Structure 1
């Protein structure tokens, strides 16, 4: 067996050591915890820790460790551990009542993996919804709202275009039938022709059609092309997916599943969340951003609060946090759905925190036109959020909207800008980061409605985990026993390889962050059953060589060499099937495919290379008369 090179021994040893280290975190089960993160200018510090301890002590709620977890990406977090889900829920209620709206309090799991393992990136696999418990939402995107918003925008844009082109018109209104576009009424046939040409040149996504003429009223119908409507519908769903992901990050949920289903539905699965009220409030809210010009001085705003008299072209708002009254113009300059991206930055002139914003073409044109004549004046950013409460009216459930409007930024326009500009006047880099996240992900392109809701309790998750572990252990034990009985020493070698196959499989899944689900456990069990096939082929080939009169060492060498081609062919076909499940499947199917794909790759290494290394150590350099196979 001297043909087994030394470098392969080192490779096997390194892989086994790394596999054990990175699989080890899965032994440490997470504990129930409550996560506290700061909103706006609130701080996560020792004072907050003592306040949480006081709230739990006052309610006689037993708790474990309460520690501050540094998180550079999302800000520091305070984690309070509890012994069971009941104490966790009681602790959540007590902490929420004590902290109010300055902090986000959410259910979570706290890792018990030792710090030295986390320092080298070794973490336990996150558990999926079916193992950890949580909530499942099926959400419907309101496509009619998208059509309404788009046609209203075209209506305003057509009015502006006709004024710029100095084309006389009588009215520009929405068609009474949703999805049928805009009706433009003009005063002459020449004006209708000119308007049609101008609109078509500026907005090629519209279809123009002459309507009936009555006296001096000439009608022009402008409707959005069907292909464009479908594209806008798909973009609406995609934008809502991004927005929901950003919002759900606030909940601190481990590995949330947010994916599109069909043309207008979205699936949201939040593992570990049992109280659905906060989740529904967060993901079901409809939010948008509006950029508005200054509508009056600070003194006029104070007078409006005192007397109730608001200037005719202005609206009264309040600044978030400080509740300072602010007057802003009724006309909107640009909205959040015209925003391409926003990132926190540093103002080069003052060195203060800022947010760099990029608008799309339509928003950039409006912003450029406005700022060209309003340098030195102020502009406000209004955050408009609509939440829906379900109330029973006359025996029927009715969704009642609740609208909240707050000014999140109010700053002086220092120069002319359009597509790219900076928002300054912020209180530090943390607020700039929060504002940029809000600008990027705070606006839903269209409202979403929860059409299906399911709650999976943690007891069901624990039962699933226990049954899954039993299935893995039972399957592994039976395979190990059968191999040892039938193939004797070579069967024991195969058993060792099979055990390390499980270890390396768990290590790889942990390293790449695969979420463990019931289909994933099924994939692990199937992998263990399939992995022994390669050793069966090798052992049978060795037996055949011995029957043909080859020496024991020659039979071992020939067994591995001749069985390799068959093993490779069989596993390549398995890999193709697993790859198809991974790339084309979703949800449970994809989870099963990922586990199977990784398991096939690890089994090829352990079944061939690892067993070859062990066999070489046991039989190399010895004179053998027979083999225990």
Structure 2
């Protein structure tokens, strides 16, 4: 029978729209300004801490919307940001360094909805407010570190092959100058370097002296490697801040954009993201006498670093282990001395290296070197700040026994420093130092204004389209309008459900554009029905031919739009990607609501009946 859906198809359409409405529901509830309190020394917040916070808020006439203790952390919700900011200051002053007090925005979604995965749609920086950093990687430092590693490798390889050299030093443009002592060994040195380092260009610049420089391809790979590694580490650091919908992406050859929607503690974000600190574990060269150390006379494989008291320590240049092997780090107190410490866990490779090193160097001293790059106030010829390497020996400990993937670092000044160091070690050491060259803050009020204007534009667009449909297509126009509302509900529900999808102002523009394109499919169907009726077809046959005949045109038009959106997403940046996602989702869903959804309603009204006239 024409224009009748089987029961399963009707139930499918109703089920799909109901699921979309269910997962779009959390967006109605919004978010509450909140203060989150958690321990900084490995301990957790307790009922006693909760009572202290409640008493403090009451004494300052601050009435929280709710305050809960969950998983060792306290979350206090407030009715407005003024109460939130005042509460944060008072709590931080009361609890001191024992607890970390951070500003937060907590979804007010009911527990039953959260339990089935219902969460509000993630908002971008322009809607929610937050901070945007433009960060530049110091490639000179990255290439300099690579140059040092190459020189250390060359010394070891040449000694192993018994090729005598008199100098390994820096050349221009991060090249390395290698001087061979015996001319007859020059050819052997070249062969060894070509075998071990095929990405190096080798040139003879003087008698028995080779200039070694990275090839153009290797240089590009080194830059890309530094960018990708830093991107990965910055993502881990953002996770430490608790920002799930952050945007972290590459911009140009040496820059990274970080957008943190909803973040309110911008100083903490800036400190953590821009930090360049890491640890190196190095053996102490005990063969250097105190007199030679005082005069600064050390072998070429050794350098002098100062500890916190200013005492010089002779360390081998080659690190036993770097921060890249650290998988976890937690701050706490040493049970014996009650001083701050950081407990470190290494990956399997790092654990094996540490086990072998400690086994081979029993009763010998090993130092923990804290390395950080800071702006020294000077600028290069391009006007960029010059970062200067600052290193400090945290502690020197004698290896008393073999240990592997877990150990403790002591000699740290304060619990706050221990906590900050543990966060940096957990997230990883930056391959190359980065500096924040631009910072933009979008206030919550400006974000709220963008939301209001976007919703107003969307509402007016919806009203105008519905008015057009009702005037031109009457009852069929009402059916198209209902399908249009269902389309918007499904788009919001799907964007709330999909991980990694963020709504921005361009995204709102994409949704509004998809509203018009959704009705466009119904216009094609309705005009085709009218044409079939003018050609003398029976009403039921006209409806059937209208939907079937317009399908190919609708599919072709929407497919080209979706393909365009895919291209925009592939080549675009943040705002363009947001527009592409919402447009593609809106158009794809419209093929379901504008064709299957409206036909279900038309079938309910007209299907299987003797109809003399259509309201179209």
Q: TM-score range by the shorter chain?
A: 0.7 to 0.9
Match of 2:440 among 444, 449, 454: 454
Mapping 1:296-335, distance limit 5 Å = 331-335=317-321
Match of 1:463 among 431, 449, 474: 449
For 2:225 and 2:60, the matched residues in 1 are separated by 48
Please say which of residues 251-260 and 498-507 is displaced more in the overlay: 251-260
2:123 aligned partner: 127
1:5 aligned partner: 6
For 1:275 and 1:449, the matched residues in 2 are separated by 19
For 1:207 and 1:515, the matched residues in 2 are separated by 46
1:348 aligned partner: none
Q: 1:36–1:178: structure 2 CA closer, same or farther, 3 Å change rule?
A: farther
Secondary structure at the counterpart of residue 240 of structure 2: helix
Please say which of residues 153-162 and 465-474 is displaced more in the overlay: 153-162
For 1:374 and 1:498, the matched residues in 2 are separated by 74
| Structure 1 residue 338 displacement after superposition | 5.6
2:19 aligned partner: 18
Please say which of residues 605-614 and 546-555 is displaced more in the overlay: 546-555
| Structure 1 residue 440 displacement after superposition | 6.1
For 1:111 and 1:409, the matched residues in 2 are separated by 48
| Structure 1, unaligned runs of 5 or more | 71-75, 297-307, 319-324, 345-352, 416-420, 428-433
For 1:116 and 1:173, the matched residues in 2 are separated by 66
Contact 1:169 1:187 (C-alpha < 8 Å) held by counterparts: yes
Secondary structure at the counterpart of residue 190 of structure 1: helix
2:36 aligned partner: 35
For 2:496 and 2:399, the matched residues in 1 are separated by 47
| Structure 1 residue 174 displacement after superposition | 1.4
| Structure 1 residue 380 displacement after superposition | 6.5
Secondary structure at the counterpart of residue 333 of structure 1: coil
Corresponding position: 1:496 with 2:492: no
2:185 aligned partner: 191
Mapping 1:245-260, distance limit 5 Å = 245-260=235-250
Corresponding position: 1:91 with 2:84: no
Please say which of residues 98-107 and 519-528 is displaced more in the overlay: 98-107
For 1:93 and 1:328, the matched residues in 2 are separated by 45
Q: 1:25–1:295: structure 2 CA closer, same or farther, 3 Å change rule?
A: farther
Please say which of residues 99-108 and 562-571 is displaced more in the overlay: 99-108
Contact 1:35 1:252 (C-alpha < 8 Å) held by counterparts: no
Contact 1:285 1:387 (C-alpha < 8 Å) held by counterparts: no
Match of 2:533 among 524, 546, 554: 546
Secondary structure at the counterpart of residue 199 of structure 1: helix
Match of 2:234 among 244, 254, 261: 244
Contact 2:102 2:265 (C-alpha < 8 Å) held by counterparts: no
For 1:426 and 1:202, the matched residues in 2 are separated by 36
| Structure 1 residue 108 displacement after superposition | 2.1
For 1:557 and 1:239, the matched residues in 2 are separated by 58
Mapping 1:610-621, distance limit 5 Å = 610-621=597-608
For normalisation by structure 1, the TM-score amounts to: 0.82
1:205 aligned partner: 199
1:10-49 CA distances to partner (integer Å, 9 max, x unpaired)? 1011101101111100111111122334334131333333
| Structure 1 residue 83 displacement after superposition | 2.4
2:405 aligned partner: 422
Match of 2:575 among 588, 594, 600: 588
| Structure 1 residue 422 displacement after superposition | 2.7
Mapping 1:375-524, distance limit 5 Å = 384-386=371-373, 406=394, 414=402, 422-423=405-406, 439=425, 441-513=427-499, 514-524=501-511
For 2:394 and 2:49, the matched residues in 1 are separated by 27
For 2:603 and 2:588, the matched residues in 1 are separated by 22
Secondary structure at the counterpart of residue 43 of structure 1: coil
For 2:400 and 2:12, the matched residues in 1 are separated by 63
For 2:399 and 2:98, the matched residues in 1 are separated by 24
For 1:399 and 1:35, the matched residues in 2 are separated by 37
| Structure 1 residue 91 displacement after superposition | 2.8
Please say which of residues 583-592 and 222-231 is displaced more in the overlay: 222-231
2:158 aligned partner: 162
| Structure 1 residue 472 displacement after superposition | 1.0
Corresponding position: 1:105 with 2:95: no
| Structure 1 residue 252 displacement after superposition | 1.6
| Structure 1 residue 226 displacement after superposition | 2.4
For 1:168 and 1:95, the matched residues in 2 are separated by 65
Contact 1:136 1:454 (C-alpha < 8 Å) held by counterparts: yes
| Structure 1 residue 585 displacement after superposition | 1.7
For 2:395 and 2:260, the matched residues in 1 are separated by 31
For 2:581 and 2:567, the matched residues in 1 are separated by 10
1:256-277 CA distances to partner (integer Å, 9 max, x unpaired)? 1110001100001111224432
Q: 1:328–1:171: structure 2 CA closer, same or farther, 3 Å change rule?
A: closer
Match of 1:608 among 570, 575, 595: 595
Contact 1:381 1:407 (C-alpha < 8 Å) held by counterparts: yes
Contact 1:389 1:400 (C-alpha < 8 Å) held by counterparts: yes
For 2:609 and 2:243, the matched residues in 1 are separated by 58
Contact 1:380 1:407 (C-alpha < 8 Å) held by counterparts: yes
| Structure 2, unaligned runs of 5 or more | 287-293, 330-342, 411-419
Contact 2:277 2:429 (C-alpha < 8 Å) held by counterparts: yes
Q: 1:54–1:239: structure 2 CA closer, same or farther, 3 Å change rule?
A: farther
1:494-541 CA distances to partner (integer Å, 9 max, x unpaired)? 111111111111111110032111011111101111100111111111
Secondary structure at the counterpart of residue 593 of structure 1: helix
Contact 2:137 2:432 (C-alpha < 8 Å) held by counterparts: yes
Q: 1:62–1:329: structure 2 CA closer, same or farther, 3 Å change rule?
A: farther
1:269 aligned partner: 259
1:358-410 CA distances to partner (integer Å, 9 max, x unpaired)? 559xx98x769745623687867655444559799xxx998887767657999
For 2:549 and 2:581, the matched residues in 1 are separated by 30
Contact 2:4 2:603 (C-alpha < 8 Å) held by counterparts: no
| Structure 1 residue 330 displacement after superposition | 5.0
Contact 1:256 1:271 (C-alpha < 8 Å) held by counterparts: yes
